[in-house]
Amino acid sequence: MEWLRIFGARFGGLFRKRHLDGDLDAELRAHLEMLTEENILRGMSPAEARYATRREFGGVEQAKQLYREQHSIQLFDVLLEDVRFALRGFGKRPGFAVVAILTLALGIGSTTAVFSVVDRILFRSLPYPQDDRLVSFGDKAPFEANEFVLGPDYVDWRKAQTPFESVTSFVPGGADCDLTEHNPVRLKCALVESTFLPTFGMQPFLGRNFTSDEDRPNAARVALISYGLWRSRFASDRNLPGRAISLDGRPTVVVGVLPAEFEMPNLGHDDVLVPAALDGSTDRGPHARQVILRVFARLKPGITIKQAAAAMEPLFEQSLYYVPPQFRHEVSFRVRSLRDRQIQDARVASWVLLGAVLAVLLVACTNVANLLLARATSRARELAVRVAIGASRGRLVRQALTESLLLGALGGLAGCWFAQLLLRLFVSIAPQGIPRLEQATIDVRVLLFALGVSVLSGFFFGLASALRRPAPELLTGKENRATPRGLLRQLLVTVQIAVSLILLAGAGLLLRSLWKLKTVALGMDTKSVITAGIDLAEYRYPDSAKQLAFFNQLEARLKQMPGVSWLALSDTLPPAGGTQATFLSAIEIPGHTKFSTGTGGMISYRYVTPAYFSALGIPILQGLGFQEEQRSPAERPVILSEALAKRLFSNGEDPLGKSFRFGSQNNWRTIIGIAGDVKNNGLAAPADPEFYIPWKNESEGYFRSGHLIVQSAINPEAVAGWIRSETAAIDPTVPMTIEGMTTRVGKLAERPRFTAVLLSLFAGMGVLLAGIGIYGVVAFLVAEQTREIGIRIALGATPRSVLRMVFSNMVRWTVAGAALGILGAWLCSRFLESLLFEVRAHDPFLLGSALFVLLAVAFFAAWIPARRAMQVDPMIALRYE
């Protein structure tokens, strides 16, 4: 514990400094006096004695310094001194400090804000114990983005698998369910297995998980509820477990409450977990209802994803035996980490944004480095003095680094505040579906990141000026003629220009792509169209007859409304695809061979009323639209989309009047028309082929949800209010979402817009900072060369030639930076490729525009100080200093 004692004494010393110094002075004085007296006693003269004393004692100041270093924590002491000195320096030139801190705040702030968002996506562990062992696996098929497992396969695999510690599943598309007690609400229920929580390493916060006995068909109904639901609906009642609630009109016992941090692996917002009650059937016969599952598993320790995939492959091969031969080559097996499944395509955009802010930070740091270098040049004399009176090289480097680290810290502090603002901006302009954005906050982890970034950048931009060799020969009194031209500074500006050009080029690509997305032909007219999505509760409308009756009644009522040009109903709405679909290979047309050897992909279809095409402005290219009388069950017309017609009748045959049959339906339909293609697979992709069937002549249909489409020139607010009141008149409990068709379509471009806006913001910052950097360097060079310019003017140089002199310098490194930037942009734009729509990553026009913008900014930034150079008055310049 000795060191602790010494540390204590020294730490105390920090605060008793003055007192200790006084003591020492008194003690040393006494010593010196006694020594002098002794020497006088030996017979020296007083002068001799004092001299001898000095010699015997050695340096008094050195002794004091050693003593001081001994009595306090030296590093700390020196640090405090350095910090005080640096602050005094900033105070002397507040302009410099403010510009440096603002620049850093911009860089560190945006880096921190973006990090707080992408950290959740890319780096931070998922809220499950040992989350790196969690995977999702299953069949990968062309018609579905996420892997899935068929029920019978799941039963077999669960038994035979070896690489996983535990395996679990849930039934996708978790159904809506209704809490049907007083004041009913619509909830989201997920069907999960009893192994679900244990596999993810989670435990209920209250009560228990359901048992495997409760997870059987026809078992008594039980449920786990989310923490949020427990708080909001059950007032945090700790006695809730064990009590029955009414779920979809049936009594269900709540056995437990999920912990607050619980998250569904698909990031769904489910309120209730109910047992999936899988029957364990392995019936793969033609009439078996095979359930489709999402399967998750926890890897055994030490097993990699690759090994797991290899271990599962034989099981997958066996399951292929049951897959119709024509589909086999389309299905593959995939195991991927839970994180990969969750973030899907957000990965590329995340890296792009992170890269972009780091580039901005780099530009900001080079700017500050330049400022410091410029300051160091004007402080060369001060440094020379310090060297001359004995400051060691290390001491000067330490002082310089303290200064830059202090700037970094202050910039970081301001940056955190700026990051908070930026994050708020991100969240407000962010679209739906950016994973975990709502969780992003500036928390301890992000603050630590900001601190790290501040320190690192402080070190980075301070290094250049810290390592400058001080030149004590400046003190000889000779003119400091040999000012270096600041090669390092110009190099830094070159880097800035290169980096800004890359940012600008990237932003240009994304903006152009966004513009293309916005102007893409939708195939329909969304203007003055209002839609209302309606979901009927299953317990109130259990069968299609009741569901149909509701919608028919609603349609009849709404038809009374004046000012409505068109009123239509459909089960689904573009730009989303239809939810009902059949394989291309399941479509039959007499006289045609099968359309595909494989599945051919999914062809979706919609149920629509005759006015659908007119209300949405979808052209009927050939034949006719549906007629009112075709809604009767006896009629079986079908309308194909242009893409489907081309696919089915590739030989140029006339499709009209041909018979058509799909899926397991036995009845033949007649093709009566061809409708124009409508975007139904996102804005970027070409429209998928689809077809239309008249709304409600299918008794086997399922109409729990539908959309009203109203085209009207009247104020949309009025129309919305009127739809609401008419619906409420039929059934006040029916929930609906009303939105303009234009808004609906606009949502599709939100993700690309988000990325493009952010990247443009960062590119703007980068260019602005680079401009400031160029301005700073040119201004500094001009100030340094004022004498030279004055002499040149005195000797007859024209303003033009002065301008040329200043510019020739700048042009050299701007061109070098631009060349580097073009090369960099060429290389970097490849990473953007997957984010682009109808824009080539190497678009020369865009790159040229970016270059033009940058050069314009560079020219302007250099022009301001260059003008000053032209106006140099030779008389004043020659008297300079």
Partner 1 sequence: MAPPRAEVLQGTLDLIVLQTLHAMGPLHGYGIAQRVQQVSGDLLKLNQGTLYPALLRLEQRGWISSKWGASENNRKAKYYSLTRAGRKQLLAETESWERMTALMSRLLGGTEGA
Chain contacts with partner 1 (rule: CB under 8 A): 2, 5-6, 9-10, 23-24, 26-28, 30-31, 33-35, 37-38, 56-60, 62-63, 66-67, 69-71
Q: Say if CB 364 and CB 105 are below 8 A apart.
A: no
Write down the H helix ranges in 616-692: 642-648
Query: Least distance (Å) from partner 1 to the CB of residue 22?
Result: 12
Between 4 and 389, whose beta carbon lies closer to partner 1? 4
DSSP assignment of 523-568 = SS--TTEEEEEEE--TTTS-SHHHHHHHHHHHHHHHTT-TTEEEEE
Query: Least distance (Å) from partner 1 to the CB of residue 74?
Result: 12
Query: Least distance (Å) from partner 1 to the CB of residue 9?
Result: 4
For residue 492, the 8-state DSSP code is H
Nearest to 879, CA basis, from 785, 790, 780, 783: 790
Nearest to 797, CA basis, from 872, 731, 861, 864: 872
Q: How many angstroms separate the Cα of 777 from the Cα of each of 413, 469, 782?
A: 27, 20, 9
Query: Least distance (Å) from partner 1 to the CB of residue 388?
Result: 25
Between 72 and 526, whose beta carbon lies closer to partner 1? 72
Query: Least distance (Å) from partner 1 to the CB of residue 50?
Result: 14
Between 10 and 842, whose beta carbon lies closer to partner 1? 10
Query: Least distance (Å) from partner 1 to the CB of residue 69?
Result: 8
Nearest to 426, CA basis, from 405, 442, 410, 404: 442
Between 37 and 473, whose beta carbon lies closer to partner 1? 37
**Cβ-based neighbours of 783, under 8 Å, separated by 6 or more:** none
Q: Say if CB 384 and CB 470 are below 8 A apart.
A: yes
**Cβ-based neighbours of 88, under 8 Å, separated by 6 or more:** none
Torsion of CA 828, 832, 834, 835, to 10 degrees: 180
Between 22 and 217, whose beta carbon lies closer to partner 1? 22
The percent of the chain in helix, strand and coil, each rounded to the nearest 5, is 55, 15, 30
Q: Say if CB 825 and CB 850 are below 8 A apart.
A: yes
Between 66 and 823, whose beta carbon lies closer to partner 1? 66
Between 27 and 144, whose beta carbon lies closer to partner 1? 27
Between 66 and 521, whose beta carbon lies closer to partner 1? 66
Omega before 575 cis (within 30°)?
yes
**Cβ-based neighbours of 541, under 8 Å, separated by 6 or more:** 547, 550, 704
Kindly state the helix (H) or strand (E) to which residue 299 belongs, with its residue range: strand 292-299
Query: Least distance (Å) from partner 1 to the CB of residue 236?
Result: 57
What would the two tokens of residue 328 be?
Answer: 């086999």
Between 11 and 322, whose beta carbon lies closer to partner 1? 11
Query: Least distance (Å) from partner 1 to the CB of residue 380?
Result: 35
Between 10 and 216, whose beta carbon lies closer to partner 1? 10
Query: Least distance (Å) from partner 1 to the CB of residue 76?
Result: 16
| Residue matched to tokens 């999702």 | 136
Query: Least distance (Å) from partner 1 to the CB of residue 51?
Result: 15
Whole-number Å distance between alpha carbons of 360 and 370: 15
Between 58 and 394, whose beta carbon lies closer to partner 1? 58
Whole-number Å distance between alpha carbons of 820 and 359: 14
Q: How many angstroms separate the Cα of 640 from the Cα of each of 635, 654, 836?
A: 16, 12, 30
Query: Least distance (Å) from partner 1 to the CB of residue 70?
Result: 4
Between 66 and 827, whose beta carbon lies closer to partner 1? 66
What would the two tokens of residue 778 be?
Answer: 């040119």
N- to C-terminal Cα distance for the chain?
A: 60
Query: Least distance (Å) from partner 1 to the CB of residue 417?
Result: 43
Between 8 and 735, whose beta carbon lies closer to partner 1? 8
DSSP assignment of 370-414 = HHHHHHHHHTHHHHHHHHHTT--HHHHHHHHHHHHHHHHHHHHHH
Query: Least distance (Å) from partner 1 to the CB of residue 61?
Result: 9
Q: Is 872 helix (H, G, I), strand (E, B) or coil?
A: coil
Query: Least distance (Å) from partner 1 to the CB of residue 14?
Result: 13
Whole-number Å distance between alpha carbons of 492 and 464: 10
Q: Are strands 222-225 and 272-275 parallel, antiparallel or unpaired?
A: antiparallel
**Cβ-based neighbours of 863, under 8 Å, separated by 6 or more:** none
What would the two tokens of residue 734 be?
Answer: 């029916």
Which amino acid, one-letter code, is at 28? L
Between 5 and 287, whose beta carbon lies closer to partner 1? 5
Q: Categorise residue 603: left if φ over 0, alpha if ψ from -120 to 50, beta otherwise.
A: beta
Whole-number Å distance between alpha carbons of 427 and 416: 16
Between 63 and 683, whose beta carbon lies closer to partner 1? 63
Query: Least distance (Å) from partner 1 to the CB of residue 8?
Result: 9
Query: Least distance (Å) from partner 1 to the CB of residue 30?
Result: 5
Between 65 and 203, whose beta carbon lies closer to partner 1? 65
